[in-house]
Amino acid sequence: MTRALMIVDVQNDFTEGGALGVTGGARVASRITNFLERHADEYDLIVASRDWHDADNDNGGHFALDGQPDFVTTWPVHCVADTPGAGYHPDLEIDDVDIHIRKGMGVPAYSAFDGVDAASGASLADICAKRRVHAMDIVGIATDHCVRATALDAVAAGLDVFVFEDLIAGVAAEPSAAALDEIRAAGGHTGVSDVDTGIEQPGGAQL
């Protein structure tokens, strides 16, 4: 049985100064790196996802090319494939990442389960099944959008899901809190890591 760490969308366009920058995004990137320095070898699989949108179309209506985005289903242009905005934030250390998931290639996509492995083209669901993943800890950006969607899909897939509340950043406080409530109501779990205290915490990765 396999325990996985899922790093969701820690990209330049989702951190301060990016097209859809989230306050606290850069801090989350460095905190995840600190967490990996302590615990990477305790995971059987580490996965990182990125939005990887097409440059020459509206990605199934995801980009508001002809008007103002509503920031619900339509968005400013962001995370276009092979641009700096789509890159991982420089404070996120990715040497320990085993699988790089790309999502939103021509279509709207929020959950990492909507994406595929950049190397093999395999879906995240297929990867989890093949690797016998039974539990997934989740960190990244944004709490109220892609973290939420990924966690709910992981729960729906039958995984034991834990979201580290101190290793995520949301667009807004109220919907972020609601997203965590929804994850818990679905059967997932939330808590904090040991990044601040240096003391091992119960739950999560059982570190």
Q: Could you list the active site residues?
A: 9, 103, 146
Q: Per residue in 169-206, is it b (16+ CB within 10 Å) or e — as a string?
A: bbbeeebbeebbebbeeeebebeebbbeeeeebeebbe
Q: Which residues contact 173 (CB under 8 A, 6 or more apart)?
A: none
State the virtual CA torsion across 81, 87, 93, 95 in degrees, nearest 10.
30
What residues pair up with 8 in beta bridges, in sequence order?
Answer: 49, 140
Who contacts 39 (Cβ-Cβ below 8 Å, separation ≥6)? 205, 207
* Residue 24 C-alpha from the chain's centroid: 14
Burial class (CB in 10 A: 0-12, 13-18, 19+), 131: middle
Place of tokens 């905190």: 31
What is the DSSP code (8-state) at residue 85? Answer: G
As a whole number of angstroms, the longest Cα–Cα distance in the chain is 51
Identify the CA nearest to 59 among candidates 16, 121, 102: 102
